[in-house]
Structure 1
């Protein structure tokens, strides 16, 4: 392996952006979490039903620096 390959290697970011989806209505929004953390699951206000509902992480969108 050449020294240039080692020096130019990209470091993984600490945070990622994920897509959160409501279990009740399907409303979606983006959230940021740490890469090594468990999948997000939270209670948040859902504007479609105008009430709080559970949001679960659907998929990873991108890495953040």
Structure 2
């Protein structure tokens, strides 16, 4: 292996952007979390139903440096 291959190797980012979706209404928003953390589950205000509801992580959108 050449030394240039080692120097040009990309490092993984520490944070990722994920899509959070409301369990009740399906409202979505983006959230940033650590790559090594567990999947998120939040309680947050849902504008569609005008109450707090549970949001679960749906999918990864992109990496953030």
TM-score range (shorter-chain normalised) is over 0.9
Measured in 2, the distance between the counterparts of 1:63 and 1:2 equals: 28
Count of residue pairs brought into register by the alignment: 65
- Measure, in 1, the Cα distance between the counterparts of 2:53 and 2:10: 38
Q: TM-score, normalised by structure 1?
A: 0.98
**2:18 matched to which residue of 1?**
18
Tell me the C-alpha RMSD between the 2 structures. Answer: 0.4
Q: TM-score, normalised by structure 2?
A: 0.98
Please show how residues 1-65 of structure 1 align to structure 2 within 5 Å. 1-65=1-65
Runs of 4+ in structure 1 deviating by more than 4 angstroms, as ranges, are none
- Cα displacement string for residues 39-61 of structure 1 (whole angstroms, at most 9, x for unaligned residues): 00000000000000000000000
